[in-house]
Structure 1
Amino acid sequence: MVESAGSVGAADLHVHSVVSDGTETPAALIAEAASLGLGAIALTDHDSTSGWAEAATAVPGSGVALIPGMELSTREQYTSVHLLGYLLDPLDEGLLAETARIRESRLTRAEQIVRRISRDYDLSWEDVLAQTVEGTTIGRPHIADALVARGHVPTRSEAFAGILHPRAGYAQPHYAPDPLTGVRLIRAAGGVPVLAHPGTRGAERVIPESRLAQLVEAGLFGLEVDHPENREDAKPRLRRLAERFGLVVTGSSDYHGSGKPNRLGQCRTSAEVVDRIVAEGRGSAPVLP
């Protein structure tokens, strides 16, 4: 990858492609970012770096820089916690082993969910595979898309609100390491860890300060505060925590194409913060146009 030279500029630091649960190819994301006048995006597919190479081929002449990244799945007891890792080494052995284990668990879980759903709805594993491309990290969003294709629900969002909601009894968790292990894995791979959308459950369910302190000690670099799904009542507390622990504050759309209503570039990270992340990364470098 091309070495960084100078400021990358402001960026949308949380974008998904068909490699995980987005609906657009990595190359198409670069083209869309260019059409919107974005200077940079981070490709952060779930537990995978497989989309980096394709995205990088679309960068020359686009005017859009690519910041290689990943959204790493972790779990705090019964709560799913996601970590964004930027500029990590995609060949790091520890990270490769852990993400392979996570993806295998995601696949096994997805198959089990489909078997349960198929007892009550016309749905097969082949229907789910039809919603993926080669190399996709298969998960619940692809089951949701299959339910939409079969006409059981009108949208992916309604699938998650209904059939795929835990109260429906079909879903179950997949394996993921704890967040402390996740931060250490990203740092060991030369990456820069940021806690993803930590305010979606509101101010009262923001990560406890004692736990955040442990993550910071392990190398957590920032909090994703400006995110479409963070609740407004949680953002002031997140900003105070960021200031107290010396963390950067990022902004990102969490764009999934047509898979979510979030719009590419609707939340962005300042050029100053992006530059700090780039300076911190050791495992890979931005791809410049």
Structure 2
Amino acid sequence: MPHVRRFTGPSDLHLHSSHSDGTEPPAEVMAAAHRHGLHTAALTDHDTTSGWAEAAEAATSLGMTFVPGMELSARHRWRSVHLLAYLVDPDHEGLRAMTDRIRSSRLDRAQIMAERISHDYDIAWDDIVAQTTDGATVGRPHIADALVARGIVADRTEAFAGILHPSGDYYVALYAPDPVTAVELVVGAGGVPIVAHPAGRALLPESVLEAMLAAGLAGFELAHRENLPEPTALLAELAAERDLIVTGSSDYHGLGKPNVPGENTTTDAMVERIFALGRGTAPVFP
């Protein structure tokens, strides 16, 4: 669907609220984005669109453009892959069924991990639930917050580096689709799929990237604090060769991470390309 340019200025397309693993409600996330000088912001909570309405109202009241988004969980073998999904239809049957399944797995996993941790540390399931807000699915970040609240660790970073680390005895894997299926679901829902922070310790295999591109992958989030220089350069070269969308974002989580809104941004030209491709829902202009 075509969109007329209605904005200029910094755009941050990766922010989280308390509807997933952020620490602030959607309206406060948009207020934080505005305080940091952003003109366009996306809410991309994990596997849910439940914060869109509140975020859209808050963003537009502040004169900002709101981009409906989601961070869809995927997995390639042992590696977690996150797919930013912009402008999807939130009522698309296939995508909704998948996100429902992922959220159910996230809750089951959290309960099993909590039971395992409780054998060695003074923490109960009620301590973990107390760290969530209405509508949010309990996940590892909430376990981390409960560990902090109980004085067992100093912060989320320590929790994820130790007790909640994937190599530890307490860890339980999350169900998630393979990356190609995830791309197909987002495209099928009219959305624009971008791989989040794709250039960490190891790139996805070339064969997987090619299959994702064939399925409709639109681009990569290359300006992100977790990306490393060498793999970022390789993906930037691929993006230039294939004329892919390249974004930059903060991955803001409120107090959950040190990331600051607008620390990385996306150009107007790339935002416009996302708007031009999205068919499932529309950006919300002030």
The whole-number CA distance in structure 2 between the counterparts of 1:97 and 1:267 is 32
Q: Tell me the equivalent position of 1:94.
A: 94
Q: Equivalent of 1:273, from 270, 275, 280?
A: 270
What is the CA–CA distance in structure 1 between the aligned matches of 2:107 and 2:158, rounded to whole Å? 22
CA contact under 8 A between 1:33 and 1:64: conserved in structure 2?
Answer: no
Matched, 1:38 2:62: no
Q: Is the 8 A contact 2:37 2:262 kept in 1?
A: no
Q: CA RMSD in A?
A: 1.2
Partner AA of 1:247 in structure 2: L
Aligned to 2:54: 54
Answer yes or no: is the 8 Å Cα contact 1:46–1:71 preserved in 2.
yes
Separation of aligned partners in 1, 2:88 and 2:168: 37
CA contact (8 A) 2:74 2:81 kept: yes
Q: Comparing 240-249 with 38-47, which one deviates more in the overlay? A: 240-249
Question: Does the Cα contact within 8 Å between 1:48 and 1:137 map onto a contact in 2?
Answer: no
Separation (CA, whole Å) in 2 of partners of 1:283 and 1:209: 29
Report the TM-score when normalising by structure 1. 0.96
Match of residue 242 from structure 1? 239
Aligned to 1:258: 255
1:212 to 209, 219, 223: 209
Deviating above 4 A after TM superposition, structure 1's stretches of 4 or more consecutive aligned residues are: none
Structure 2: unaligned runs, 5 residues or longer: none
- Contact (CA 8 Å) 1:8, 1:274: kept in 2 or not? no
Partner SS state of residue 60, structure 2: coil
8 Å CA contact 2:144, 2:160 repeated in 1 = yes
Identity %: 56
Q: Which amino acid aligns with 1:76?
A: H
| In 1: Cα distance, 2:227 partner to 2:17 partner | 21
Show structure 1 runs of 5+ residues with no match.
Answer: none
Q: Give 1:37 shift.
A: 1.4
* Structure 1 residue 57, shift from structure 2 partner: 1.7
2:128 and 2:146 in contact (8 A); partners too: yes
Task: Give the 3 Å change call, closer, same or farther, for CA 92–8 of structure 1 in structure 2.
Answer: farther
Deviation of residue 246 (structure 1)? Answer: 2.4
- Secondary structure of the residue that 2:164 maps to in structure 1? coil
Q: Report the residue type matching 2:127 in the other structure.
A: D
In structure 2, the partner of 1:163 is: 163
- Tell me, in whole angstroms, the C-alpha distance in 1 between the residues paired with 2:167 and 2:91: 39
Q: Which amino acid aligns with 2:29?
A: L
Distance in structure 2 (CA, Å) of the matches to 1:7 and 1:212? 33
Which residue number corresponds to residue 150 of structure 1?
150
Instruction: Indicate which of 271, 278, 283 corresponds to 2:280.
Output: 283
CA contact (8 A) 1:144 1:160 kept: yes
Deviation at 1:94, TM superposition (A): 0.6
Say which SS state the counterpart of residue 12 (structure 1) adopts: strand
Amino acid at match of 1:182: A
Count of residue correspondences: 284
Give the letter aligned to residue 53 of structure 1. Answer: A
CA contact (8 A) 1:33 1:264 kept: yes
The more displaced of 67-76 and 25-34 is 25-34
For 1:137, the aligned partner's letter is T
Change (3 A) 1:4 1:128: farther
Matched, 1:107 2:104: no
Contact 2:30 2:59 in 1 (8 A): yes
Which whole-Å deviations, capped at 9, do the CAs of 1:52-100 have from their partners, x for residues lacking one?
Answer: 0111121333021110000000010111101000000001111110000
In structure 1, what is the equivalent of residue 136 of structure 2?
136
Query: How far apart, in 2, do the equivalents of 1:286 and 1:174 lie?
Result: 31
SS of structure 2 residue aligned to 1:144: helix
Deviations 1:77-134 (A, max 9, x none): 1111010000000011111100000000000000000000000001111111111111
Which residue of 1 is the match for residue 73 of structure 2? 73
1:221 aligned to which of 218, 221, 243: 218
**In structure 2, the residue corresponding to 1:274 is in which secondary structure?**
helix
Q: Structure 1 residues 152 and 267 mapped into 2: Cα distance closer, same or farther (>3 Å)?
A: same
The separation in 2 between residues aligned to 1:153 and 1:35, in whole angstroms, is 31
Secondary structure (helix, strand or coil) at the match of 1:138 reads coil
SS at match of 2:141: helix
Q: 2-side partners of 1:155 and 1:109: how far apart?
A: 21
